[in-house]
Amino acid sequence: MNPRKIAFRVDASLKIGTGHVMRCLTLAEALRDRGCESTFICREHPGNLIDLISERGFTALGLPAVDVAQDLGLELNLPPHAAWLGADWRTDATQTRKAIGDVTADWLVIDHYAIDERWERKLRPACRRLMVIDDLADRNHDCDLLLDQNLVEGWQDRYRGNVPENCALLLGPEYALLQPLYSELHDRVPPREGPIHRILVYFGGADTDNLTGMVISAFGTLKTEDVSMDVVINSASPHAESLWKLATRDGRIRLHERLPSLAHLMAKADFAVGAGGATSWERCCLGLPSIVITLAENQRPIAAELHKQRFIQWLGHKNEVDEHGMAEALKSLMKNGLESGWSERCGHAVDGKGTSRVGSLLVVGDKNSLRARPATMDDEINVLRWSNFLSTCSHTSIQNIHHSIEITNNFRKHLRDIDTYHVFIVETSSKIPVSLIYFSRQETSWSIRILHAPHLGSFIRDEMILEEALRVLRENATGVLIFSDTQNSSMSPVSVANRQGQYTNAANQKRLEIAVCTDRGSWINASVPTLIGGWLAEGHSVSWSHDASTLPGGDLCFYLSYGRIVDAKTRSRYSNNIVVHASDLPKGRGWSPASWLIMEGAERIPVTLLEAVDAVDAGPIYLQKWIPLHGTELIDDWRELIADATIELVRSFVSRHPEILHEAREQTGKSSSYPRRRATDSELDPAKTLAEQFNHLRIVDNEDYPAFFRHKGQEFILKICRRPSSRGKDS
């Protein structure tokens, strides 16, 4: 699988943007851990961080800075921070498009106050999806996902009307982009209380107003020998030299430059003094109380809300605070110590897992990016919140109260009635709940209802939700699963609700009754929900069983990795009975053909779709696909390739039915058969090299039938897996 391509458009300079680049780097590193490749596109402002981005191991492409003051003056309705772009928006968009190149980015991530919907629309052809990181809510965006990690008054509604209806919104400190170290330290660092002995000072990468110097001077007026101060500065700051001189005069002060993270100093500190912005969430995560001086207008509403909720002490804006006021604030804190509970309040506000949450959403669609689990009472709050959100447009407040009670009662009823209902939560790998799905057993079939997290818009497709839940349902429910499609209302036996209502049948497509039969515990079971979800979306009725004798009958039955002989009477229930076999029939009939072919050194494997008849693997062939091998695929790798080919062939057969029945061809040529593999077939010869027996190792199952060898009267087991960093082009 090719890695996802991520492009970031973000700037930094001597005056602004350091925090923007740092939070984008944090997200890029989390995505790199998930197999993504990120490229940064930055304008070459004085004080840019292009070299730092490269040092972190990412490609950084520079855009030349130009003087656009005259052009900006002619443009109407520009964002308030348009001048920060360093070019007019059309030029910037064109240059960014060129920098991205011919390869379409899976995600384009924009963290820039000067960019709005006009720029974003122009870049749509360069990316599959577009994400905006914002703090201001002062302009319109054309994006698929918007992240605002801030806590301000009315934060839940501040982007209403500013983004498309189907835009997913990640709002609040729950999604703060912090380095992983903060999450690790969050549960480790105890709350602060009592006297203050160590203070941390940091005003960001720019601090053009030299508030750092003002705080140092204020601290210098306080003769407290048992209190020390850690001061973090930017070595490129125009005030760096004077700050060093101030610090060297006071033995209580330690100056730090070019730190990869503030986490270690924050963990040691009892208190902090600094600016608003992203650092606020780092301090809160580690339970570090702080005095805040806001540096920019956009920091004011955030600081006001944090002050209101008693997470910080907001001293005022930069032009409202002087050395005397700072000295008095520090003196009061040192005299009285920390307010009881202040540190704990901060720690409860931010858990540090925001980066992981956002990263897991950006890779939804990759293998193992979603998982389903049985719902519990802990999920009730989300169910109520999602349901109330969907009802607010049509209900009065009194009706909403009754609606909430009804939702709560129904949810609890469904959890209790384990014979009738299976209720699952589908969540990301970082445990962000994205959907609730109900399976309810009717007389002869199951009905399906899906409730989505409304803030995620149409970000995650219904088919993906259904697929994950079906996997868990099949593991937990006994007997045949029947999903009978009708054209009735949303309460019909198969009502797979999307955000606009119900799935509808594909235009002009005949509704089929389809069955899938697999062995319990088979490796193919993980792929079957992909088929079922698609068929239900198209309006077909679907059954799935591990026992062919329990199937209800209908149009088509697919036997996928099913190890039992199906007699003619059972097959007669369906118009067509289809088998998938991994050999070039009539050669290789029988058991585990792919394993035997790999043992023989085959460089490609055929996957053949044929009609089941009385003789084993002898029916007419409808479709065939050849899979090339590189010679390093282990059992999970080549099984995944076969599963993908199987899904492709089966889907093709259904979409081309019934015309494809006329394309059947009889098997010709000399036939051969493979025997059933036994546990003893995994035995290795210790006298031979690993290279000589590598194909043998490629087909062993580490759990069910691992490789083994005999030596000096004893048996030894060998397990084989690929080192993750060594995955090659076959991955």
Distance, CA of 456 to CA of 435 (rounded, Å):
10
Check residue 181 and give its pLDDT: 96
Interior/surface letters 255-265, b for 16+ CB within 10 angstroms, e for the rest: beeeeeebbeb
Check residue 400 and give its pLDDT: 41
Based on the domain organization, do 217 and 321 belong to the same domain?
yes
Check residue 74 and give its pLDDT: 56
Summarised one tens digit per residue, pLDDT across range 256-270 is: 998 889 999 999 999
Domain span holding position 151: 5-171
Check residue 406 and give its pLDDT: 72
Whether residue 319 is contained in a domain is answered as: yes
Task: Give the range among 351-355, 406-410, 670-674 with minimum mean pLDDT.
Answer: 406-410
What is the domain count for the chain?
5
Distance, CA of 97 to CA of 619 (rounded, Å):
53
Based on the domain organization, do 511 and 493 belong to the same domain?
no
Check residue 510 and give its pLDDT: 81
More confident: 451 or 644: 644
Based on the domain organization, do 469 and 571 belong to the same domain?
no
Whether residue 393 is contained in a domain is answered as: no
Based on the domain organization, do 317 and 213 belong to the same domain?
yes
Based on the domain organization, do 476 and 535 belong to the same domain?
no
Please give the share of the chain, as a percent, with pLDDT higher than 70.
91
Task: Give the range among 153-157, 465-469, 714-718 with minimum mean pLDDT.
Answer: 153-157
Whether residue 722 is contained in a domain is answered as: yes
Strands in 290-294's sheet, in edge-to-edge order, are 253-257, 228-233, 198-202, 271-274, 290-294, 313-317
Whether residue 381 is contained in a domain is answered as: no
Question: Which residue carries 């656009």 as its tokens?
Answer: 68
Summarised one tens digit per residue, pLDDT across range 223-235 is: 888 999 999 998 8
Whether residue 261 is contained in a domain is answered as: yes
Question: Of the residues 171, 196, 213, which one is the last residue of a structural domain?
Answer: 171
Check residue 407 and give its pLDDT: 73
Q: Which residues make Cβ contacts (< 8 Å) with residue 109, sequence separation at least 6?
A: 6, 7, 8, 9, 10, 24, 27, 131, 132, 133
Check residue 80 and give its pLDDT: 84
Judged against a pLDDT cut of 70, whether residue 729 lies above it is answered with no
Based on the domain organization, do 564 and 659 belong to the same domain?
yes
Element spanning 608, H or E: strand 604-611
Judged against a pLDDT cut of 70, whether residue 12 lies above it is answered with yes
Question: Of the residues 504, 524, 551, which one is the last residue of a structural domain?
Answer: 504
Task: Give the range among 210-219, 397-406, 417-426, 607-616 with minimum mean pLDDT.
Answer: 397-406
Summarised one tens digit per residue, pLDDT across range 560-594 is: 999 899 999 999 999 999 999 999 999 999 999 99
Based on the domain organization, do 613 and 671 belong to the same domain?
yes
Summarised one tens digit per residue, pLDDT across range 190-224 is: 999 999 999 999 998 778 899 999 999 999 999 88
Q: Which of 297, 238, 458, 464 is nearest to 367 (CA)?
A: 464
CATH number for position 524? 3.40.50.170
Summarised one tens digit per residue, pLDDT across range 522-556 is: 999 999 999 998 999 889 999 999 999 999 999 99
Whether residue 731 is contained in a domain is answered as: no
Question: Which sequence positions are flagged as catalytic?
Answer: 20
Distance, CA of 515 to CA of 577 (rounded, Å):
9
For residue 11, name the pLDDT band (cuts at 50, 70, 90). Answer: very high
Judged against a pLDDT cut of 50, whether residue 20 lies above it is answered with yes
Check residue 404 and give its pLDDT: 59
Based on the domain organization, do 561 and 429 belong to the same domain?
no
Check residue 190 and give its pLDDT: 96
Given a contact cutoff of 8 angstroms between Cβ atoms, the answer to whether 653 and 578 are in contact is yes
* One-letter-per-residue 3-state SS of 679-716: HHHHECCCCCCCCCCHHHHHCCECCCECEEEEECCEEE
Mean pLDDT (whole number) for 684-707: 94
Consult the annotation and say whether 339 binds a ligand. Answer: no
> What's the whole-number average pLDDT of the chain?
90
For residue 83, name the pLDDT band (cuts at 50, 70, 90). Answer: confident
CATH number for position 165? 3.40.50.11190
Whether residue 470 is contained in a domain is answered as: yes
Based on the domain organization, do 23 and 131 belong to the same domain?
yes
Element spanning 446, H or E: strand 446-452
Question: Of the residues 470, 504, 538, which one is the last residue of a structural domain?
Answer: 504
Check residue 727 and give its pLDDT: 43
Based on the domain organization, do 306 and 445 belong to the same domain?
no
Based on the domain organization, do 280 and 256 belong to the same domain?
yes
For residue 390, name the pLDDT band (cuts at 50, 70, 90). Answer: low
CATH number for position 214? 3.40.50.2000
Check residue 552 and give its pLDDT: 94
Please give the biggest Cα pair distance in the chain. 98
Mean pLDDT (whole number) for 703-716: 94
Whether residue 166 is contained in a domain is answered as: yes
Based on the domain organization, do 524 and 434 belong to the same domain?
no
